[in-house]
Structure 1
Amino acid sequence: MTRMSVPNVKNSIDRAIHAVEGRMTNGLSPASIMVAYFDWLVHMAHSPGKVSEMSENFARKTVDFNIWAARATMDPDLPDFIQPLPEDRRFRSEEWKKFPFNVIAQGFLLKEQWWHYATMGIPGVSKHHESMVHFGARQWLDIISPTNFFATNPHVLKTTVEQSGQNLVKGAENFWNEVMRNIVDQHNAADSEYSVGKNLAVTKGKVVYRNRLVELIQYEPTTKKVDAEPVLIVPAWIMKYYILDLSQYNSLVKYLVDKGHTVFMISWHNPTAQDRDLDMEDYVIQGVMESLKAVTTIVPDQKVHGVGYCLGGTLLTIAAAAMARNEDDRFKTITLFTTQTDFSEAGELMLFIDESQISYMEDMMWDQGYLDTKQMSGAFQLLRSFDLVWSKMVSEYLLGEQPRVNDLMSWNADATRMPYKMHTQYLRRLFLDNDLAARRFEVGGKPISVSDIRTPMFAVATGKDHVAPWKSVYKIHQLVDTDVTFVLTNGGHNAGIVNEPGHPRRHYQIGTKLDNDKFVPPAEWAERHPVIDGSWWEPWEAWLTEHSSGKVTPPQVGTKGGDYDPICDAPGTYVFED
């Protein structure tokens, strides 16, 4: 007995150490990072040709830049030495075209270019480690960008002169308020203008079903007739559902209801340590399948339009594949918003996913029973450090501007946790091992295949998605044997989905691949399909109507005396769980 218990004790010690350490590293594994840099350094040391080439490149570029900088002192119209990337907004203002700031900006861009060259293309370095080192270099360069410092940012200097330094006083206030909010763990005070149930998530409806994992909301009809088939929306469990029911003007739920659809929405329970053993199958069965059972009971004899967002779309796909295996045809259509089903090219989020990193996260979650919201948000902030960290620092601390808050930002601050067992399975089986695409993912002890799905599909991807890159979302074409209508819209992972008609500067591309059509690579698809101004909500709603069987009298809300009596008003209770 004693000899068998020793390994468990040692394992517990290791886990405890990693759990404490993880709180200081924001969930990033030091071992994973060190291995990546060691791989890069060792192969760099064994590549004298590459080192010589880098040295020559550095010397040549430095001489050319110094000549350009000397000319730039006299010629304000001199073309840039280095053209910034199209998505780089840091040096676009006219202040950056004047000496000495033009030289400062161009010198920094030269440094970025050289580090890109130094971290990429080293023979022998694994692709994953190369990406990690390159990403780390970008993070370091983002920190030292001249836009982030008072003395090297012309816009900040100009504002300071114009306001006699009051911007710095206001910036100090903003900084102190932010420190105090972090100490007491409170949201921005300005968020008070947005409140769930007050001006967020206010579309009228009732909670008609509740279990340990979900509340199911049925929304009240606003039209005399509705499409016969109801809509069931499965949001990601990493987010509060009301991103799809924000303010009344940009609520997808309200848009659908006003267009004559019966809409149901899953609202996920925010897990605590007591939920540590909830697994992926619990989310499929208790989340999607139990909700679907409620919907088909309240609206009998009708199939259902299934809609999934992000991880909710992945979960919906898993449920649909399991149903297809059992010849369960209750879904009329399936719509996926920014949903990955093949994780082989899952974008920069894969930087944080390897065996070392997942093992480290498992130890952290083992200690507390869940993945904390701060640990998740840290990874997303790194992926968009300029937008989420440095531009915010400049605007609030150096320019003294009031923190900008809108409904989407308020929702973004209202994060949720992930239970230990489920999140471990999700990371390993989907991201690391890609079991769903490889037909190894099991539901009910049997593997499922996405190719069994015969239901027409509508998939939406966004062009600037750091979480689910559009070319990864596009892979659904290679996995299913059914008609797929695909939309590529501008915007990011969330802003591209909250895309109401009338929103300025919105556009999309759309095309349908029939079951028997040949596969078209994503880059070729983007070239073939024209850009259309407007919101993709409109063609999607028309697609839902096209795949419906006609108009009927709206069903009652709940079953009135049955198993799905209304429990409380929307937005329910789970959405308020901290």
Structure 2
Amino acid sequence: MAETEPNPLLRYLVSDPDAFAHNLAKAFEQAGKAAAAYLKPRETGDTDFGSTDEITRITKTLAHVGEWWLADPARTIEAQKRLVGGWMDLMSSTLKRLSGEPFEPTIRPDPKDKRFQDSEWNDNAFFDFVKQFYLLTSRWAGDMVEEAGDLDSHTRAKADFYVRQILAALSPSNFLMTNPELLRETLTSSGENLVRGMKMFAEDIAAGGGDLKIRQSDYSKFRIGENLAMTPGKVIWQNDVCQIIQYAPTTETVRRRPLLIVPPWINKFYILDLNPEKSFIRWAVSQGLTVFVISWVNPDQRQAEKSFEHYMKEGILTAVEVVEKSTGERGVDTIGYCVGGTLLGVTLAWCAATGDDRIKSATLFTTQVDFTHAGELKVFVDEEQISSLENQMSLRGFLEGRSMSTAFNLLRSNDLIWPYFINNYLKGKEPFPFDLLYWNSDSTRMPAANHSYYLRNCYLENNLTRGRLELGGVKLDLGKVTVPIYNLAAREDHIAPALSVFEGSRYFGGPVQYVLAGSGHIAGVINPVGKPKYQYWTGGPPQGSFTDWLAAASETPGSWWPHWHAWLTDLAPEMVPARQPGGGVLEPIEDAPGSYVRAKA
């Protein structure tokens, strides 16, 4: 006699009621600690509620969408018919399923959607109904934004962003009673997962100073200078804006012209030196390059008035002087990453306007100089939001690091927020130790003057490519920049889109080598030679449309790093004996990676 399959409902019964009740009580105790950690800084005045302005903006933005659909009775009825019609189709399909009749799902999730991979989302009629109800409603809400007329592009982009965040938060996968995997985990473990999860929840609210700072990695497994940012070198200069690191050579001879790297100050520089296998810096040193890196200060009130001009003069231009003192070479090649590349572009225009010819070439990693087609961060930029941010920064002289970190995470909330919320606080599991996500959480503050200038002049007004940007009384023109440019974009970049980088290439007055890497803003850059995961495309000068350029481009598997190195070497191939940090002229201050990078926000 064949065995009958166990009743699947048995998987959703409490195995030990006493233990379950005991663990629920412990979980509620930890939840109380989380509430206390949330309220403490608000009671003492160490923080404010801070969400009122944001809630008001969300409400106003979504109200514009609702007003358009409600302004015409016919449109209102159409919107209602779509939603209720989808629900009725789902009800009909579910009734057929329950009665044993053949049925077809009303809607299916995207195959790339990782939220509904558990088999019970399909096999169990209840969870399948919940899933489809959510997907139908999500599709309807998205369509309401997309099809609303009379909305300017910025309002539509904000509405779309807000709707996506709300829908991501309301996914049934995020709730214990509507996620089959979480429900099974809770019942089979008698709620032990919730005890562990609520303990981590309370710890993470306390660590965030009253706001939830979701741990994305096991932070205890990483130490800067020990298993991150390990490339040997020395800090040979510092001021109140940055430290300058020179790395020790690993070859007997080095290329005569040194290399200066300008990382973003929005994040810490060791994204380029995560570990020996992934380190762009270590690889560049191994190729016979004398490498210098700017390590930006993690600012506080003392840097409140440090502006874009200060970061240019006391950062990049000071670093160029330090490189010359250490090596004796007046010419330097440069790399700028993200906003560091934007600052480098501004510096190139400054040098062209003032006759400073020390920077001989520039490589730009996922950098925007023109913000016409800027990425999804533009949803955070308009006069209202910038003014609110400036008021917030004026209280302390800087923007808290978690503000930028949260913004970046929200752009990919279904990858960087909710999976960790589920894993940590509902499953009660420690996240996997991942160096990239440790770096991602190691946020930096933004000095008020610098951040305000950047948002207004770049994202809001796009002054650099419109010929309206002035710095220190000098009018800047990218068209006067004639040094060779290697402009690297990433195909899936949502921060500096490939199209935006392509269009920005047009504004330089000299030769531009546009290269498109696979993957996104980080992985497209950090694609090491030893373990290449992606590919890159080359296709001649960035002329015509981006679509046409890409269609004619040649794809090469593997890392773009050797291609860049060949381009750089062709510019100035002369070699000299290897140089030690400081060159016998500057006394090293401390070992790399220095103290500035260790400062926590």
TM (norm. structure 2) is 0.85
The answer on 1:57 being equivalent to 2:57 is no
Tell me what 1:135 maps to. Answer: 161
Distance 1:452 1:75, change over 3 A: farther
Hey, what's the Cα distance between the residues in 2 that align with 1:226 and 1:139?
A: 50
The answer on 1:108 being equivalent to 2:143 is no
Distance 1:27 1:369, change over 3 A: farther
1:307-386 matches, within 5 Å, as 307-386=335-414
Letter in structure 2 aligned against 1:513: G
Letter in structure 1 aligned against 2:384: S
Distance 1:102 1:546, change over 3 A: farther
Tell me what 1:572 maps to. Answer: 594
Q: CA deviation at 1:347?
A: 2.2
Tell me what 2:525 maps to. Answer: 497
Tell me what 2:152 maps to. Answer: 126
1:135-534 matches, within 5 Å, as 135-160=161-186, 163=189, 165-182=191-208, 190-301=218-329, 303-503=331-531, 506-514=533-541, 519-534=543-558
Contact 2:538 2:555 in 1 (8 A): no
Tell me what 1:5 maps to. Answer: none
* Deviation sequence 1:296-321 (CA, Å, 0-9, x none): 23233453221011110000110011
Hey, what's the Cα distance between the residues in 1 that align with 2:181 and 2:283?
A: 41
Letter in structure 2 aligned against 1:537: W
Paired residue secondary structure (1:460): strand
* Deviation sequence 1:259-307 (CA, Å, 0-9, x none): 1111000011121112211111111111111101221232334532210
* Deviation sequence 1:357-406 (CA, Å, 0-9, x none): 11111111111111111222222232222222211111122222212232
Distance 1:268 1:298, change over 3 A: same
Paired residue secondary structure (2:115): coil
Q: CA deviation at 1:466?
A: 3.1
Q: CA deviation at 1:87?
A: 4.6
Gaps of 5+ in 1: 1-19
Distance 1:160 1:309, change over 3 A: same
Deviates more, 1:458-467 or 1:416-425: 458-467
Tell me what 1:552 maps to. Answer: 576
Paired residue secondary structure (1:206): strand
Distance 1:477 1:71, change over 3 A: farther
Contact 1:27 1:375 in 2 (8 A): no
* Deviation sequence 1:164-219 (CA, Å, 0-9, x none): 55434433343343344345999969423211122211211111222221111110
Hey, what's the Cα distance between the residues in 2 that align with 1:329 and 1:494?
A: 31
TM (norm. structure 1) is 0.88
Deviates more, 1:163-172 or 1:400-409: 163-172
1:78-93 matches, within 5 Å, as 80-85=105-110, 87-93=112-118
Q: CA deviation at 1:469?
A: 2.4
Distance 1:26 1:452, change over 3 A: farther
Paired residue secondary structure (2:488): strand
Tell me what 1:542 maps to. Answer: 566
Letter in structure 2 aligned against 1:66: M
Paired residue secondary structure (1:465): coil
Gaps of 5+ in 2: 1-44
Hey, what's the Cα distance between the residues in 2 that align with 1:45 and 1:472?
A: 36
Tell me what 2:31 maps to. Answer: none
Distance 1:461 1:390, change over 3 A: same
Contact 1:26 1:375 in 2 (8 A): no
Deviates more, 1:131-140 or 1:56-65: 56-65
Letter in structure 2 aligned against 1:571: P
Q: CA deviation at 1:524?
A: 3.2
Letter in structure 2 aligned against 1:508: Q
Sequence identity percentage: 35
Q: CA deviation at 1:447?
A: 1.6
2:64 aligned residue (32, 39, 62): 39
Tell me what 1:14 maps to. Answer: none
Paired residue secondary structure (1:305): strand
Hey, what's the Cα distance between the residues in 2 that align with 1:29 and 1:62?
A: 32
What count of residue pairs does the alignment treat as equivalent? 553
Hey, what's the Cα distance between the residues in 1 that align with 2:530 and 2:52?
A: 41
Letter in structure 2 aligned against 1:507: Y
Letter in structure 2 aligned against 1:451: G
Paired residue secondary structure (2:439): helix
Hey, what's the Cα distance between the residues in 2 that align with 1:37 and 1:83?
A: 27
Letter in structure 2 aligned against 1:263: V
Q: CA deviation at 1:453?
A: 1.7
Q: CA deviation at 1:154?
A: 2.4
Deviates more, 1:64-73 or 1:385-394: 64-73
Distance 1:474 1:92, change over 3 A: farther
Tell me what 2:23 maps to. Answer: none
* Deviation sequence 1:320-374 (CA, Å, 0-9, x none): 1111223433223211112111112222211111111111111111111111112
Deviates more, 1:38-47 or 1:470-479: 38-47
Distance 1:419 1:522, change over 3 A: same
Paired residue secondary structure (1:401): coil
